[in-house]
Amino acid sequence: MNDISQLLPVDAATKASVRILVIDDERTLRESCASALQVEGYRVQTCGRGDEAVETLKRHTFDIVLVDLYMGHVPGMQLLAAALAANAEAIVIVITGKPSVESALEALRAGAWDYLPKPFTGTQLQVLIGRAAHTVQVARETRAQQERTGVDAGGLSVLGNAPVFRDAITLARRVATTDASVFITGESGSGKEMIAQFIHQHSRRSSRPLVAVNCAALPETLLESEMFGHVKGAFTGAIRDKPGLLEMANGGTLFLDELIEMPKPIQAKLLRVIQDGVVRRVGSEGTDAVVNVRFIAATNRDPEEALRSGMLREDLYYRLRVVPIPVPALRERPDDVPVLAAHFLDHYWRRHRGADEPLPTLSNAAIWALRAHSWPGNVRELQNVMEHAVVLLEPGADVGPEDIPFVSDQKVDVELAAEAEDVNADDGYYAARGRLLAKF
């Protein structure tokens, strides 16, 4: 196995700048933790009582806090809250001798960065703290970049304002500032990857890459090589060592699209990376990298059904599903269709046409027709429809129902909309349709 100190993604200067507080009522354990971390160059302070820890957190700022979940007098969850109240960007790691799925999820959802069961080795602790320190380093880089450029993370309000969609965005915004794993569900084309981009852009990892992998697009052997990398000679055609997407995403976010399609053997290998950050490339006999990655998973299928059928590992699911975010289908938010259509019209006009050519305008009849469509392909279908229209439109033209590719599917309704004078761009589909039909 490679020297672990050479694999940790954090240098000596960063270690020396990171302040760590160890809170545990077991003297031997907290002193062992302090010793193992001080050897690595970290600045470490310890507390043996909960009330002492609360006061220490109020007086000093810590980058990383290790807290025993089952402390006497002051519960570990209360100490977790106190650590985050004192420093919202603190990385809090919960340690416990009574691990369970329930307690782990409770801690992670309350803002813990990770969960470390006892007993653990000094090496395990050093690897975990190395990854946490790397997160501190990345967050500092992100803040410095934003201060230098004067640019903060952008928003995705253009995607829609329907309450059901804003609920998803609000949840995404709340979870973005943490490092919690996110599990996004929704139909194909509904905007799951855009939600993942939103979370990454608003996170402390935004200065590092967001790397996406479609788990359904590659056969098992190729998916494993793409994700974990391979060593020279691992298989025919492996003429050199190659890092995988996990290493490319180091410090940033890995988006696992269509996770349920991932073969079970790769799920098991991925779980180990999530748990301890250790990456072993295909064909390797040792550890090739230690990574610090945030995971966002997505699927267009029912994950509970995938659990029952055995397609999805339960331990992997609960590790990734710290915060679930359901994304509504476009048909569930018809009033967002004009907003999205106008956005895509502008986007593709600028891409395919000259800057001096006037932008076409969506007519009321076109908007009515767009709202009337059921959008089985969701936002992706609308995006393609608008690009198709842009390619054929004249500069400055009014976009009519006849310019919409699927118009023949709803010819009667569109003709009614085109003849009516009181179709308003702000009307809902059913309200407008009812008034139009009443004319005849």
Condensed to tens digits (0 to 9), the pLDDT of residues 234-260 reads 888 888 999 999 999 999 999 999 999
377 and 295 co-located in one domain: no
Tell whether 350 is covered by a domain.
Answer: yes
What's the CA gap between 256 and 273, in Å, rounded?
14
Helix (H, G, I), strand (E, B) or coil at 158: helix
pLDDT tens-digit readout, 119-143: 999 989 999 999 999 999 999 988 8
316 and 401 co-located in one domain: no
Full DSSP string of 214-275: ETTSS-HHHHHHHHH-B-TTSSTT--S-B--HHHHTTTSEEEEETGGGS-HHHHHHHHHHHH
Assign 416 a pLDDT band (cuts: 50, 70, 90). Answer: low
Cα dihedral across residues 214, 216, 222, 223: positive or negative:
positive
Kindly state the average pLDDT of the residues 211-218. 95
pLDDT at 424 over 60: no
264 and 411 co-located in one domain: no
Tell whether 29 is covered by a domain.
Answer: yes
Q: What is the mean pLDDT of the chain?
A: 87
Cα dihedral across residues 214, 230, 138, 66: positive or negative:
positive
Q: Which residues contact 147 (CB under 8 A, 6 or more apart)?
A: none
What pLDDT does 64 receive? 98
Measured CA to CA in angstroms, residue 247 lies from 243, 279, 387 at distances of 6, 8, 35
What pLDDT does 439 receive? 39
Tell whether 28 is covered by a domain.
Answer: yes
CATH of the domain at 428: 1.10.8.60
169 and 303 co-located in one domain: yes
Whether the pTM exceeds 0.85: the reply is no
pLDDT at 71 over 50: yes
Tell whether 189 is covered by a domain.
Answer: yes
In this structure, the number of other CB atoms found within 10 A of the CB of residue 395 comes to 12
What's the CA gap between 77 and 115, in Å, rounded?
12
User: pLDDT higher for 9 or 39?
Assistant: 39
Cα dihedral: 239, 242, 244, 249 (round 10):
-160
pLDDT tens-digit readout, 101-116: 888 889 999 999 999 9
199 and 63 co-located in one domain: no
State the total domains in the chain: 3
Tell whether 176 is covered by a domain.
Answer: yes
**Domain termination residue (choose one: 270, 302, 328):** 328
CATH of the domain at 283: 3.40.50.300
282 and 367 co-located in one domain: no
Q: Looking at 50-54, 59-63, 187-191, 407-411, which range is the least confident one? A: 407-411
Tell whether 320 is covered by a domain.
Answer: yes
pLDDT tens-digit readout, 369-398: 899 899 999 999 999 999 999 998 889 888
What pLDDT does 23 receive? 97
**Domain residues for 106?**
4-147
pLDDT at 4 over 70: no
286 and 200 co-located in one domain: yes
> H or E segment at 33?
helix 27-39
138 and 206 co-located in one domain: no
**Domain termination residue (choose one: 281, 312, 328):** 328
What's the CA gap between 55 and 68, in Å, rounded?
16
pLDDT at 5 over 70: no
pLDDT at 293 over 50: yes
Tell whether 152 is covered by a domain.
Answer: no
pLDDT at 2 over 90: no
What pLDDT does 436 receive? 37
121 and 176 co-located in one domain: no
Tell whether 400 is covered by a domain.
Answer: yes
Does residue 297 contact residue 259 with C-beta atoms inside 8 Å? yes
174 and 322 co-located in one domain: yes
307 and 348 co-located in one domain: no
What's the CA gap between 305 and 192, in Å, rounded?
19
Kindly state the average pLDDT of the residues 215-226. 94
User: pLDDT higher for 166 or 182?
Assistant: 182
What pLDDT does 423 receive? 46
Q: Where are the alpha helices (DSSP H) in 60-121?
A: 76-86, 101-109
CATH of the domain at 94: 3.40.50.2300
224 and 122 co-located in one domain: no
**Domain termination residue (choose one: 128, 147, 166):** 147
